[in-house]
Amino acid sequence: MKKITFLFILVSISLLSFAQLNVGGHFAYNSTWLMNKQVFDAGAEMDVAASFGSSFGIIAGYYFSDQFGLETNINFNKLKQNYEGNIKYFFTLEDERNAYNSTTVLNTLDIPVLMKFGKNTYFELGPMLQFVNKATYSRTFDETDVLKPGIYHGMAYSFANREDIAVKSNFKNVGIGVAFGFGANFNIIEDALKLNFGVRFNYILTDMQGINGLGERKDSNFVTADEKDNFKTNPLYGGLKIGLVYIFE
């Protein structure tokens, strides 16, 4: 028992001798996706388009050794999803359609807790909480003549534009996900200030519900029974990040 106690104390002292507190800030530019199988299966009426967002935040980390540490961030994130599609006109002898573009924007607060493997170059992995602070939806049709309505899933559909409509109530307030990435730290001031370059990916595992590319919720009449089974929203985003980290010895 004494040997085990002595070994525990020795390991603790060794870890503390390497311990370093790191603080800093970072910025990321991300490719962003609201993953929803109902949208992916909708065909010409609705599809996702390339979308980009950004995040910035503060860093606080603690290295127990040269090879292992823990880091948490408070990140303010803008997550965007662009859509495009076309809806058939109600009165048409041919397959005439009205095209549209739409966008959903989520503003979230993300808090990852990451295990860091390696120091100058590293791999990181850990759980993350996401809090939805704001959500808006915009949509623009090529034509909005009220005398020429559309038809969608056998029902009349209004070609009405929308601009920055608040849709936060349609999303879950909190999501649980995972973050992982890799990167490298470069000395600006030896053992004091470092420049960080990295790549990080984030995926929300829980269903955030939300809306589709037409701004419809899961319980909408324009979402069929079969589509409701596939109506789940899981944000996925990742990209390059850059930051500054100060080390307290």
What burial letters (b/e) apply to 33-54, b meaning 16+ CB within 10 Å? bbbbebbeebeebbbbeebebb
Banded pLDDT at 170 (limits 50, 70, 90): very high
Asked whether residue 178 carries a pLDDT value surpassing 70, the answer given is: yes
Lowest mean pLDDT across 47-51, 92-96, 98-102: 92-96
Of 174, 238, 236, 237, which Cα lies nearest the Cα of 208? 174
Question: Which residue is associated with the tokens 């959903």?
Answer: 104
* pLDDT higher than threshold 80 for residue 11: no
pLDDT, tens only, 132-145: 999 999 999 999 88
* Residue 87, both tokens: 């809806």
pLDDT higher at 92 or 122: 122
pLDDT for the residue numbered 15: 38
What pLDDT shows up at residue 16?
A: 41
Task: Kindly report which listed range (5-14, 65-74, 113-122, 160-169) carries the lowest average pLDDT score.
Answer: 5-14
For residue 146, name the pLDDT band (cuts at 50, 70, 90). Answer: confident
Q: What is the mean pLDDT of residues 209-236?
A: 95
- Residue 148: the pLDDT is 85
The pLDDT of residue 18 is 45
Taking 50 as the threshold, does the pLDDT of residue 14 lie above it? no
Mean pLDDT value across residues 67-89 = 96
Q: Which domains does the chain have, with CATH numbers?
A: 22-248 (2.40.160)
* pLDDT at res. 94: 81
Backbone angles phi, psi at 91, to 5 degrees: -105, 95
Task: Residue count of the chain, please give it.
Answer: 249
Can you give the pTM of this predicted structure? 0.87
pLDDT at 99: 96
The pLDDT score that the predictor gives to residue 19 is 64
